[in-house]
Homo-oligomer: A and B are copies of this chain.
C-alpha cells in the first residue's frame, strides 16, 4: 500500500502535467514519471544518472529546468536537508514530515496524522507552514 514504486501510465502522467498547466514534453514526462514511479527523494544528479542510461541525451540544465517547472506547478516539493548539499525532490504532496535515518541516510515520509503539534507561542505569530525533520535510527 505504501509502496514507493508505483506504476503510473504515461497517459496519466501527461494528464497530470496538462492539468497543472505544464506542457507535457518528452523530457518532462520521462523525468516526472521517473520521480513518481521509480525514484525515492532523488537529487538532480541522481535523475541525471538515471536519464543518461535511458535517453540519448538529456542535459543537466533541462533536468533543473524541469524540476523547477514541476515544483512551481505544485507537482513536486523540494526539500533542503541540512545534511545534504543537494536539494531532494519529494513526490508526496499531502501534509507530511520527514524522518532521516542517521545510520543509513535514508529519508522516510511521515504522514501528517502521525505527528500532532501543540503550539503555546508567547508571540503573536500566524503560522502558515511547518516543517518537521526527525532524526534517529530504525529498529
**Interfacial residues, chain A to chain B (CB-CB below 8 A):** 78-82, 99, 102, 108, 110, 113-139
Chain A contact residues: over half helix, strand or loop, or mixed? strand
Total copies of this chain within the assembly: 2
Q: For A138, what are the chain B residues with a Cβ–Cβ distance below 8 Å?
A: 123-126
Beta-carbon contact of B116 and A126 below 8 Å: no
- Give the docked Cα–Cα distance between A130 and B19 (Å): 36
Q: For A113, what are the chain B residues with a Cβ–Cβ distance below 8 Å?
A: 120
Residue of B nearest to A110 (CB): B121
Residue of B nearest to A97 (CB): B132
Q: For A131, what are the chain B residues with a Cβ–Cβ distance below 8 Å?
A: 82, 131-133, 135
Residue of B nearest to A113 (CB): B120
